Amino acid sequence: MLKILNIVGARPNFMKVAPIYAEMKRRSADFEPLIVHTGQHYDAAMSDTFFTDLGLPKPDVYLGVGSASHAVQTAKIMLEFEPVVLREKPDWVLVVGDVNSTIACSLVCAKLGIKVAHVEAGLRSRDRTMPEEINRILTDSISDLLLTTSQDADENLKQEGIPVEKIRFVGNVMIDSLLRNLKIAESSTVREELDLTGKDYAVLTLHRPSNVDEKEVFTGLLGALLSISERLPIVFPAHPRTLARIEEFGLAERVASSNIKLVEPLGYLDFMRLYSGAKLVLTDSGGLQEETTALGIPCLTLRENTERPITIEMGTNVLVGTDPERISKTAFDILNDTEFGRNAKIPPLWDGKAAERICDVLLAQART
């Protein structure tokens, strides 16, 4: 039996670990899975909601590191996680994504000689000003098993000199969660509560420091969003940090008098119900590019680069940067084009069975 520590730290991790944990529990003769929550996203209400929505149990270990600078947070996670590894003596530590918890726990294991499996390995934006890109590169360089979502990620790893025997193309576990919960999310009443039933609307997420912390950039983005909202309402579940910047930059009145509807951050199922009915999604996040591709929903990514180029090559994602004119023009072109996305495809192995393949690979590794 393999003892696996599954690391979660931020909300995107929860969606990736949930189907893996469920599959390990289903194979109880082969796996003893534990969940370690670093507390990187520490707001109890939101974390508890996501755990409940995803069917995750209370974490076996909660480190409670909280918010801090990248260096302090990474160091705190390492300090708190090392005793856990020494006590539990796992066969594998499974990390997901690209947050500080991912690299911090991987570093601890590398120093202690504990094997690390990285889910969502090989993604590259080619932008090292992004903290997530540094986390991705470093985690991949010290992991023992690299589990990829797409074949371009395999190629990235090979070009970086990663031995091919460490790389396994397993598909996208985020889509496992999406397909598993899409029907369940139909019970959410969020569309009715927001008076969106039977109406066209857009959904916006915006939280990256490069977009919301610089007044000129944020003001430009808002100008484009205001223009688009004249065509169809935009629902904006706003991060508290983003709300603070709206107030700080004196933008609250413009938003309040517009067709942009600010709402509190939503739980996993409510948010899925919201964006799955949208005519258009605008985002600077990573996972939403994948989910909209799987559902065939037009998505504008408000960034200059993406670590998920397959969503552009095969799906419905369009990289528009932060130029207001380009954002507005692209949005209106899509809304006016009834053929947009007609030839889009779901990438290979985005079939809801990635967790099964991940477990198969871990068992195969144990037999070698």
Mean pLDDT score of the chain = 95
Read off the pLDDT of each residue in 144-153 and give the average, rounded to a whole number: 98
CA dihedral 290, 292, 298, 303 (to 10 degrees): -40
Residues annotated as catalytic are 207
Q: Cα dist. 150→68, 208, 222, 317, 328 in Å? A: 32, 24, 33, 16, 30
**What DSSP line would sit under 116-141, residue for residue?**
EEEEEET---S-TTSHHHHHHHHHHH
Q: Which CATH number does 2-171+350-367 carry?
A: 3.40.50.2000
Kindly state the percentage of the chain with pLDDT values over 90: 92
Range in 47-51, 66-70, 85-89, 152-156 the model is least confident about: 47-51
Distance of CA 295 to the CA centre of its chain: 16
Kindly state the percentage of the chain with pLDDT values over 70: 98
Read off the pLDDT of each residue in 161-182 and give the average, rounded to a whole number: 98
For residue range 3-61, list pLDDT tens digits in order: 999 999 988 899 999 999 999 999 999 999 999 999 987 666 567 788 889 999 999 99
The beta strands (E) that lie in the chain are given as 2-8, 31-37, 61-62, 92-96, 115-121, 145-148, 167-169, 202-205, 234-237, 260-263, 280-283, 299-301, 317-319
Spell out the domain ranges in the chain: 2-171+350-367, 183-336
Domains 2-171+350-367 and 183-336 share a fold: yes
- pLDDT interval class at 366 (50, 70, 90): confident
User: What is the β-pairing status of strands 92-96 and 145-148?
Assistant: unpaired
pTM for the model stands at 0.95
Q: What is the model's pLDDT at position 43?
A: 65
Nearest alpha carbon to residue 120 among 139, 96, 88: 96
Q: Which CATH superfamily is domain 183-336 in?
A: Glycogen Phosphorylase B; (3.40.50.2000)
Read off the pLDDT of each residue in 146-158 and give the average, rounded to a whole number: 98
Considering only the C-alpha atoms of the chain, give the largest distance between any 2 of them, rounded to a whole number of Å. 63
Cα(17)–Cα(174) distance, integer angstroms:
9
